């Protein structure tokens, strides 16, 4: 079911830029003959507006960005077609936004510069046919929103990955990787929410080794060939990290597979592993569900999860609340991650009222349950402005101020 966002006071939107520089094939001045020349002429705050070439033949260029710029299509609600790498150079206060880029072959990369999280990069509603976002540097705060990667991955240190479709199955890389570890900064939330991720053999679908932020890994549909979600470290301030309402399935593999695995968690870290559905389609007897690996010093609470009884070890011993999970039923999925045979997953999440589904029925386990249900984020590329994430209290109390924050994008 879709969430209807009605309270958008205080909504955050992407920055509006002032001066437009039009890129047009065979265009007359003041238009620019290619993206490279438009970027070279631009200054902080400009917009690079790209007209597509005839037949949507891509603009074939490698672009280096050294200013605060926005890139978008001349045609409303459409992609601009390019081929080549986009490299962002870091600098204090720099902001780079790309909306609606369809890149037929090319990735996003960085040149380090400025301070920790000093450069803000937003990639929104874009489509990579063969390319990745490789922005894993502490100087960058990167949001990857509502984008498709047909053969690619996303690697960042700080930021958010929300509502993307990522197929990394042909790569030797994690589908999503989060590795920010700078010290001395106020904790912020890293939202890994509402994604569809297909990982390769021997690599994770989602991997995090970070102590500089609070992880919210929620409502993702993850197909994996080794580990669906693997977690290291964690903030040491006792702020809860959430691994909620994910659907995790081992669809291929080589040796042992693990649905959700936690290892080397830090003293003072707290992990809430709740309302997940874990199963397999790969026929191997050594599959595991929620796994406690070595070196864990944090508090790990595992409850109201549903793990298929086809897995050799559904839930490792010695987790807190280990017995409060269902491990005696088969769970099978349709191709989109919905349940073909749900076992006890329907209405089987944490029964607390604040965790109900959007129709106010008891919360389901898996990616389609709870308030961040996967259907809020997919399908992608609808050609319209949207609110892509909200922050709100889970319960409303009489006499308390209701605060809702929405984050949106538009031209």
Walk along the chain (411 residues) and give the pLDDT tens digit of each residue.
333 333 333 334 444 547 999 999 998 889 999 999 999 999 999 999 999 999 999 999 999 999 999 999 999 889 999 999 999 999 999 999 999 999 999 999 999 999 999 999 999 999 999 999 999 999 999 999 999 999 999 999 999 999 999 999 999 999 999 999 887 777 899 999 999 999 999 999 999 999 989 999 999 999 999 999 999 999 999 999 999 999 999 999 988 999 999 999 999 999 999 999 999 999 887 899 999 999 999 999 999 999 999 999 999 998 999 899 999 999 999 999 999 999 999 999 999 988 999 999 999 999 999 989 999 999 999 887 888 888 777 665 666 777 788 888 886
Quick one: CA torsion of 119, 214, 408, 77, rounded to 10 degrees?
70
- Looking at the 3D structure of the chain, how many domains does it have? 1
Nearest Cα to 274, choosing from 246, 247, 297, 305? 305
- Alpha-carbon gap, residue 204 to 351, rounded angstroms: 30
410 located within any domain? no
89 located within any domain: no
Dihedral sign from CA coordinates of 264, 299, 245, 211: negative
Q: Is residue 262 part of a domain?
A: yes
Give a yes or no: residue 181 inside a domain.
yes
Is residue 272 included in any domain, yes or no? yes
* pLDDT score at 401: 77
Residues in the chain: 411
Q: In Å, how far are 234, 254, 302 from 299, measured between CA atoms?
A: 10, 31, 10
Integer Cα distance of 326 and 314 in angstroms:
9
Residue 301 sits at φ, ψ, to 5 deg, of -105, 125
Distance of alpha carbon 402 from alpha carbon 386, whole angstroms: 22
C-alpha–C-alpha distance, residues 159 and 222, integer Å? 20
Any domain includes 400: no
CA atoms within 13 A on the CB side of 126: 32
- The pTM (predicted TM-score) of the whole model is 0.93
Q: With contact defined as beta carbons under 8 Å apart, do 307 and 325 qualify?
A: yes
Q: Please compute Rg for the chain using Cα positions.
A: 22
Residue 133 inside a domain? The answer is no
- Output the pLDDT for position 394: 66
Return the DSSP state at 53: P
Q: What share of the chain is helix, strand, coil (3-state, %, to 5)?
A: 5, 45, 55
How far CA 286 is from CA of 190, 226, 249, 259, 367, in Å, comes to 32, 11, 14, 12, 24
The residue segments making up the domain with residue 328 are 153-381
Residue 252 covered by a domain:
yes
């Amino acid at each position: 079911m879709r969430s209807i966002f009605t309270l958008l006071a205080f909504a955050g939107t992407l920055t509006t830029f002032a001066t437009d520089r039009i890129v047009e094939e065979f265009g007359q001045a003041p238009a620019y003959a290619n993206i490279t020349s438009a970027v070279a002429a631009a200054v902080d705050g400009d917009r690079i507006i790209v007209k597509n070439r005839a037949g949507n033949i891509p603009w074939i260029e490698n672009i280096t960005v050294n200013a605060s710029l926005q890139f978008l299509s001349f045609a409303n609600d459409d992609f601009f077609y390019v081929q080549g790498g986009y490299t962002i150079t870091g600098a204090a206060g720099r902001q780079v936004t790309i909306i609606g880029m369809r890149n037929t072959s090319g990735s996003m990369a960085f040149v380090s510069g400025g301070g920790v999280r000093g450069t803000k990069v937003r990639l929104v509603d874009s489509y990579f046919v063969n390319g990745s976002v490789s922005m894993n540097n502490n100087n960058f705060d990167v949001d990857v929103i509502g984008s498709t990667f047909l053969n690619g991955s996303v690697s960042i240190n700080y930021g958010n990955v929300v509502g993307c479709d990522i197929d990394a199955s042909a790569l030797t890389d994690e589908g999503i990787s989060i590795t920010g570890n700078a010290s001395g900064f106020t904790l912020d939330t890293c939202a890994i929410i509402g994604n569809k991720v297909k990982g390769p053999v021997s690599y994770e679908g989602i991997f995090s080794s970070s102590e500089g932020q609070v992880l919210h890994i929620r409502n993702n549909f993850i197909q994996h060939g080794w580990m669906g979600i693997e977690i290291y470290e964690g903030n040491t301030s006792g702020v809860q990290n959430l691994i909620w309402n994910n659907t995790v399935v081992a669809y291929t593999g080589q040796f042992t597979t693990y649905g959700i695995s936690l290892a080397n968690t830090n003293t003072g870290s707290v992990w809430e592993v709740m309302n997940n559905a874990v199963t397999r389609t790969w026929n191997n007897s050594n599959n595991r569900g929620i796994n406690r690996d070595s070196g864990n010093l944090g508090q790990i609470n595992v409850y109201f999860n549903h793990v298929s009884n086809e897995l050799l070890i559904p839930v490792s011993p010695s987790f807190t609340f280990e017995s409060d999970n269902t491990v005696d039923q088969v769970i099978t999925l349709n191709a989109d991650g919905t349940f073909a045979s749900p076992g006890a997953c329907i209405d089987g999440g944490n029964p607390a009222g604040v965790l109900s589904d959007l129709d106010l029925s008891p919360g389901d386990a898996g990616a389609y349950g709870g308030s961040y249900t996967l259907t809020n984020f997919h399908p992608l590329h609808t050609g319209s402005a949207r609110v892509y994430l909200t922050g709100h209290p889970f319960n409303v109390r009489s006499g308390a101020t209701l605060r809702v924050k929405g984050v949106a994008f538009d031209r």
